[in-house]
Structure 1
């Protein structure tokens, strides 16, 4: 079974599918988000909160999270060290 990365609000993504964890503030990240939405590959896990991180998966899905990208990176790294 794949290890899961908690992305907030009882949502998780498989750690082995994560390619990048990005801050959403720049214009290229906004274009990435819009492109994923147009292709039907955008997953909104923010529960209506402000998007604070974009998670790109190996199958080109973009997952939106309300958790800060720095926090998600720390969780990812901590889980990797525990293995």
Structure 2
């Protein structure tokens, strides 16, 4: 398999979502936002793997992310969406 023709990119919020779900599935209780915006560290993780942070239109304030977070809160804490 040859090298990519351009820089590889990936959405840092996808990394945040993946890690959040993985931690919750392991019985941990991650909290989003209390320690700062996780997109920056996720972007740095991607860069450390040689991948440039890309599409960033799915932020913590987007409806799809909020829906996912509400689902996780309800599953983990029994807290219905407000």
Same structural fold, with TM-score higher than 0.5 when normalized by the shorter chain: no
Structure ranking higher on relative contact order (CA contacts 8 Å, 6+ apart): 2
Could you say which structure has the higher strand fraction? 1
TM-score scaled to structure 2, two decimals?
A: 0.32
TM-score scaled to structure 1, two decimals?
A: 0.32
Could you say which structure has the higher helix fraction? 2
- Structure number with bigger Rg: 2
